[in-house]
Amino acid sequence: MGAQLRVYRRRIRSVQSTKKITRAMELIAASRIVKAQQRVTAAQPYARQITRVISALASQSTVDHPLISEKPNPSRAAILVITSDRGLAGGYNANALKEARSLEETLRREGKEPVTYAIGRKAVGYYRFRGREVAQSWTGFSEQPRYEDAKEVADTLIGAFIEATENGGVDEIHVVYTEYVSALTQRPVANRVLPLVVEESDAPPPEGALPLYEFEPSPEALLDTLLPRYVETRVYAALLESAASESASRRRAMKAATDNADELIKSLTRAANSARQAEITQEISEIVGGAAALTDA
């Protein structure tokens, strides 16, 4: 009985130590959610305005820019998959990778070869374990991305898009990331970044009429400058959304782990009390039995 009681007490101490770790990770993730939300909110006005400017340029000019025009018979499509560098984030990485697999299947049905670009150690490890080729990968900034990181990724993707497919280039660029809806809801999404989808419609734009610009310099020169900034903004926004989603998923997972540790501690404490009571009962029985034997003698 004594050995069993020591085992229970040792397990309780171990679970209590784990509970302290998960509780600390939960608090850190909760504090990072607020900062990540603030960064997402701060980046939205610039993203909206550059989108309106490019929409106005595309609708008010007849420029046949390579970043806007659909390529005939596209055969290769780049997929940028954004995951985390660390684990313990619930289903965050699994859901993003599942969305990427679904997109790959869709592209293959359309006769396009998917080319994978990965952000985050989890995506790199996932494809490496399965022997899948990754065109290029980036790690180390999933929780706190900078605009410089987004620019490096965007430059690589634009370079592949401009390159001819026979030389290793791609005809389309898709981004798979996790959209932050709320602290309890994060949704994996897949969006096409290039080429831009230009739609003709008589309905007014949702954010009001587009401004009328006098192009100086030419529309081609403006698009050459603005479209790379637009891609950088889209990648940066996806990184910020993913960072907020990662922190929210980790906070929720660590809270569940802390609650489970509490339940396990209660269960082990009851088992330890039962073992202690059984030990005391056995000791009393032995004493009574010994006293009765001496009396009979």
Domain extents in the chain? 26-252
Between the alpha carbon of residue 151 and those of residues 156, 157, 183, the distances in Å are 9, 10, 28
State the pLDDT at residue 143. Answer: 84
Strand-pair partners of 174? 79, 192
Instruction: Out of 32-41, 135-144, 270-279, give the one with best mean pLDDT.
Output: 135-144
Residue 203 pLDDT exceeds 60 = no
Question: How far is C-alpha 221 from the geometric centre of its chain's CA atoms?
Answer: 35
> What is the CATH code of the structural domain delimited by 26-252?
3.40.1380.10
Point out the least confidently predicted range of 42-46, 60-64, 146-150. 60-64
Distance CA(5)–CA(273), nearest Å, equals 8
State the pLDDT at residue 219. Answer: 67
Structure tokens at 139: 């790690």
pTM: predicted TM-score of the whole model, two decimal places: 0.80
| Four-CA torsion 149, 152, 157, 162, nearest 10 degrees | 150
**Do 84 and 138 touch, CB atoms closer than 8 A?**
no
**C-beta atoms surrounding 274 within 10 Å:** 13
Structure tokens at 192: 């096409």
Hunting for tokens 């290769």 — which residue is that? 76
**C-beta atoms surrounding 288 within 10 Å:** 10
Residue 170 pLDDT exceeds 80 = yes
